[in-house]
Amino acid sequence: MTDPLLQRRARLMGPNVPTFYAEPVHVVRGQGVWLWDADGRRYLDCYNNVPHVGHCHPKVVEAIARQAATLNTHTRYLHGAVLDYIERLTATMGHGLSQAIMVCTGSEANDVALRMAQAATGATGLIATDNTYHGNTSAVSQLSTRRPPIGGYPSHVRLVPAPESLAPLGGSPEAQAGAFAANVARAIAELDEAGHGFAGFMLCPFFANEGFPTLERGFLDPTVAVIRRAGGLILADEVQPGFGRLGDAFWGYQRLGFVPDVVTLGKPMANGHPVGAVVTRPDIMAEFRTAFGYFNTFGGNPVAAAAALATLDVLEEEGLVGNACEVGAYLLDRMRALAHPMLAEVRGAGLFLGAEFTHDDGTPATAFADRLVEGLRQRGILAGRIGRAMNTLKIRPPMPFSRENADFLVDALDEVLAQTEEPA
């Protein structure tokens, strides 16, 4: 560890702090889809979903600056902006999802959502998939396998096998929906038997951390039927797929074609300003608000509301959901045209795409995928990895990503593929 910044970081933050790359980029400036490091080197950002409408979008920056100079107090007085925002937000959702609690992070949102399910059902049992991450609080980390909780998994939490593209549950893509639902039904029965009862199933409607396997519209229908029969709630964690990223729908649940009881939001919501939300129906909200006097000091304060409103404005004014649809389709086509013996599948939707790499025998090419990410970085492109074995290249850029950006990425990836050797 020769980088003085890395040394300072270890001294001031302790060991084992998650970073991207063994020698992380020292970023100093961002604009649109670009980031610059301290040496003035430019990177095409193909990874970050936080700057949803582009790094440092002037309209969002101006909204933050103006409101911060006018009023930024806590949320126990009355202020119009947060109500304007909830009205705009819930208008996109339908299905009676008309009320919201504003929070500061996706983790806080999911922490509330779990308790909403518990308050509404009177049960405590929770289900998630066995290859996911929903956040960093004590309660939410109990539903996360990518960062297992301190003290292990409690008995009121059950993890069901995640769907996969290359190794689908039930042995085939056709059988997967039923097999997934059968595992959920089994988990519910176990929770009932253990005396916890079933409160809710939290899932990402794009199964983003699971490696976003290709799933047909209606994939969750058998699971939803199982959940409804058991009286539990479906909690849709839209932190990654939401706000139009998938191109053909504003929300992941709309694309998959099911109706959640609770929707949680985070990262991209205010383009980097710490804002999250939990949206639900009035009946569930009343159960939660009666059971717990929830209050969040910063959640939905005037600056948070202004930043989130401006982000929605830019999405609309610049037609960024349409852009995600169009450029995403173009990028998917170009990536699918790449030829490499280890490229097992290219998949995704809108501006959330992946390329999964395997060895001849079908086993995951994890180290190879890692080398690709490093090779792309050397060519000025930031990307990531995902999936159970971290063998899927993950492309999830800011929404103003253009065809030119897509060409730049795929041309570079083509070169990197040609030059990268499988590790011995």
Residues 34-63 that bind a copy of itself (CB under 8 A): 35, 48, 50-51, 55-56, 58, 60-61
Residue from 171, 195, 218, 282 binding a copy of itself (CB under 8 A): 282
Does the protein bind a copy of itself through residue 30 (CB under 8 A)?
A: yes
- Of the candidate spans 7-15, 219-227, 328-336, 340-348, the one that interacts with a copy of itself by CB under 8 A turns out to be 7-15
In this structure, is the dihedral angle defined by the CA atoms of residues 175, 180, 184 and 190, taken in order, positive or negative? positive
CB 208 within 8 A of CB 342: no
Site for a copy of itself in 262-281 (CB under 8 A): 266-267, 271-274
The interface mask with a copy of itself, positions 176-215, x = CB under 8 A, is ----------------------------------------
CB of 233 to a copy of itself, least distance (A): 14
| Dihedral, 263, 269, 275, 281 alpha carbons, nearest 10 | -20
Residue from 32, 54, 106, 213 binding a copy of itself (CB under 8 A): 106
Which CB, 223 or 264, lies closer to a copy of itself? 264
Does the protein bind a copy of itself through residue 13 (CB under 8 A)?
A: yes
Site for a copy of itself in 117-136 (CB under 8 A): 118-119, 124, 136
Which residues, in sequence order, are CB contacts of 306 under 8 Å at separation 6+?
Answer: 63, 64, 66, 67, 81
Does the protein bind a copy of itself through residue 98 (CB under 8 A)?
A: yes
Residue from 121, 132, 141, 145 binding a copy of itself (CB under 8 A): 141
User: Could you give the CA distance from residue 339 to residue 360 in angstroms, rounded to a whole number?
Assistant: 15
Does the protein bind a copy of itself through residue 69 (CB under 8 A)?
A: yes
Does the protein bind a copy of itself through residue 90 (CB under 8 A)?
A: yes
Does the protein bind a copy of itself through residue 74 (CB under 8 A)?
A: yes
Does the protein bind a copy of itself through residue 400 (CB under 8 A)?
A: no
- Of the candidate spans 289-297, 308-316, 347-355, 389-397, the one that interacts with a copy of itself by CB under 8 A turns out to be 289-297
Vertex 159: Cα angle to 156 and 161 (nearest 5): 160
Residue from 20, 153, 330, 408 binding a copy of itself (CB under 8 A): 20
Q: 233-237 and 198-203: which strand pairing?
A: parallel
CB 206 within 8 A of CB 240: yes
Residue 219: name the closest of 174, 160, 177 by CA.
177
In this structure, is the dihedral angle defined by the CA atoms of residues 96, 101, 102 and 105, taken in order, positive or negative? negative
The CA R_g of the chain, rounded to the nearest whole Å, is: 21
- Of the candidate spans 245-253, 299-307, 359-367, 389-397, the one that interacts with a copy of itself by CB under 8 A turns out to be 299-307
Does the protein bind a copy of itself through residue 68 (CB under 8 A)?
A: yes
The interface mask with a copy of itself, positions 300-319, x = CB under 8 A, is -x-xx---------------
**Start-to-end C-alpha separation, the chain:** 25
Measured CA to CA in angstroms, residue 109 lies from 113, 155, 285, 293, 317 at distances of: 6, 23, 13, 15, 27
What is the 8-class DSSP label of residue 273?
B
Three-class DSSP category at 331: helix
Which residues, in sequence order, are CB contacts of 120 under 8 Å at separation 6+?
Answer: 199, 233, 261, 283, 284, 287, 288
Residue from 22, 150, 339, 418 binding a copy of itself (CB under 8 A): 150
The size of the interface with a copy of itself (CB under 8 A), counted in residues, is 97
- Of the candidate spans 72-80, 203-211, 364-372, 413-421, the one that interacts with a copy of itself by CB under 8 A turns out to be 72-80
Interhelix angle 173-193/221-230, nearest 10 degrees: 20
